[in-house]
Chains A and B, each alone.
Chain A
Amino acid sequence: MIQFEHVFKRYPERGEALTNISFEMKVGEMAFLTGPSGAGKSTLLRLIGLLERPTRGDIVVNGRNLATLPRDRIPYHRRDVGMIFQDHRLLPDRSVFDNVALPLVVTGLGHKEVGRRVRAALDQVGLLKRERAIPVALSGGEQQRVGIARAVVGRPPVLLADEPTGNLDPDLSKEIFQLFERFQYVGVTLLIATHDLALVKSMHYRTFSLGEGRLVNDTRGW
């Protein structure tokens, strides 16, 4: 589902962010991406979501070669990759419902179908009763769950999360990770960047470790 082959990413200002990264993830696989700040975790996720293009090497996601994907096809690729951010990236002036509906609205889906799918997604994250609230009225954990609902509402085959529990206490973090596990059960491929090593160890999934832009460790889970 996700395949990196000798991928390099160099920024003109900062130098090399990723050096010779190669790995492959299968459909329905869940993996953690760890490493110190600045190791290149975010950059790697940004490459998968095509927020940036690699300097060199091939990335194939969901059968698409991202190095050669034309610019006007990028939006369609992003619809297949749900992204979750540490700071949620919610629209503060829109209701929970409208925030979650956004990925469907941009595809031009009809009102009824949007409503049905948004409520299904909110139900999955346990926020069905808060659909009229605006994000600031929610707790940090709830906001993150709205972000997750938005990422999965379009039923993407790939889900990326960049420090999804960075601002949450351990219990809430655990809840969020359990939510991710449930997506994995239905065949979603998940890659989660996190600092939370204790939690990573307790969950026994494949773990990629990045250090200074290199893939220094790739431990299989069991």
Chain B
Amino acid sequence: MLKPHSRRRRLPKLAEQFQIWLGQHVQNALATLGRLFDTPVPTGMTVAVIGISLAFPAALYVVADNLRTMAGNWDQTAAISLFLRHDVADEAATPLADQLRKWPEIARVDIISRDSALNEFRALGGFEEALEQLKNNPLPVVLAIYPQAAFALPAQLETLQNKLLRLQEADFARMDTVWLQRFQAILDLIQTGVVLLGGLLGMGVLLIVGNTIRLEILNRRIEIEIMELVGATSAFIRRPFLYAGAWYGLLGGLTAWLLVTLALILLQGSVSRLASLYRSEFPLAGLGVSETLIVLSGSIALGLIGSWIAVERHLHGTEPN
């Protein structure tokens, strides 16, 4: 016959308590994961919803990131393209370029000769036949003008443009920076969108996880009650639900990462083709290590907070007031 314990049960020592605590956590985490995989369809649906929700802001972030890289490359392109009159020959362009290089506003001047411009045009493809029809080269000489950094503001560039147009040889000048600045503004807009969308969909994830955990608590109400009766602490009862939330978050985050990466792989082909039309290479950047970690830790945090809210609201069982 089992003898009952002495009058007052001794409390375990601190080290012993820690060991118990750690063992319970590991066991709980694995058991909770096993439980999620016991019901693969509902778990999969919840994870998919979380994954898709998180994939949206992550994808938008990747788009903004890539556009910014692209814009960074364009900073290298000429700020002003000065098209010379048709009757200005290649040879005459060289002294003009030398003269312009002395201007304080100008950092660099590149000459794009009529022949090289034609070759460039040919290389683009699709124009060969049209170009064959032409008896002589219709393209003018172009001077690519790079301003000094101190003269790169839009107003200053406009002044420079007007000054350049007053040159006898000048026909037409195109500024490349205005649209670049508009592009920057659009990028900023997208970035704000990432934050807003991320916030909204993050809230959505919170609600999804919260609701899933709430249903789980309701399903297991009898079990919870019995566990309380036999002396489970509230921490012990909450733990599996919090782990479930964290697992949902982690699995959802991994799904989001997978979706974004898959989308990038699918897009890389078309982007490469587009980039080749601009005679450049553009490898799409995906989610880097730090971004991936942010997505995963963020999704785990959302899952945890969502389940914590549900647990706080719905786990007040048989304890007396």
Contact = CB atoms under 8 A, between A and B. Distances in A.
A186 B2 contact: yes
B2 A80 contact: no
Interface residues of A, number: 42
Contacts of A79: 9, 230-231
A155 B320 contact: no
B233 interface: yes
Contact of B227 (A80, A102, A117, A120): A102
Interface stretch (B19-27, B94-102, B198-206): B19-27
Interface string A140-176: 0000000000101011110000000000000000000
A217 interface: no
B8 A62 contact: yes
A63 B2 CA distance: 22
Given A75-B232, A102-B226, A107-B231, A63 B318 contact: no
Interface string A98-138: 00001100111010000001001100100000000000000
Nearest to A102: B230
Contacts of B9: 76, 79-80
Contact of A155 (B5, B222, B232): B5
A48 interface: no
Contacts of B290: none
B304 to A, nearest CB: 22
B313 interface: no
Interface stretch (A34-42, A49-57, A199-207): A49-57
B169 interface: no
B233 A75 contact: yes
A52 B236 CA distance: 21
A13 interface: no
A156 B5 contact: yes
Interface in B54-83: none
A74 interface: yes
Given A108-B20, A186-B1, A103 B231 contact: yes
B7 interface: yes
Contacts of B125: none
Contacts of A23: none
Contacts of B7: 27, 62-63, 157
A80 to B, nearest CB: 6
A187 B231 CA distance: 21
Tell me which of B3, B5, B6, B234 has the highest count of chain A C-beta atoms within 10 A of its own C-beta. Answer: B5
Contacts of A27: 7
Given A110-B23, A152-B2, A157-B5, A52 B231 contact: no
Tell me which of B2, B4, B232, B234 has the highest count of chain A C-beta atoms within 10 A of its own C-beta. Answer: B4
A89 B226 CA distance: 7
Tell me which of B6, B231, B236 has the highest count of chain A C-beta atoms within 10 A of its own C-beta. Answer: B231
B229 interface: yes
Interface in A71-93: 71-72, 74-80, 83, 89, 91
Q: Which 10 A-B pairs have the closest CB atoms?
A: A79-B231, A108-B20, A106-B232, A78-B231, A103-B230, A157-B4, A75-B233, A53-B320, A75-B231, A186-B1
26 contacts: A27-B7, A51-B229, A53-B321, A62-B7, A62-B8, A71-B319, A72-B234, A75-B232, A76-B231, A78-B230, A79-B230, A83-B229, A91-B226, A107-B20, A108-B20, A108-B21, A110-B23, A117-B2, A120-B2, A152-B2, A154-B230, A155-B2, A155-B5, A157-B5, A157-B7, A186-B4
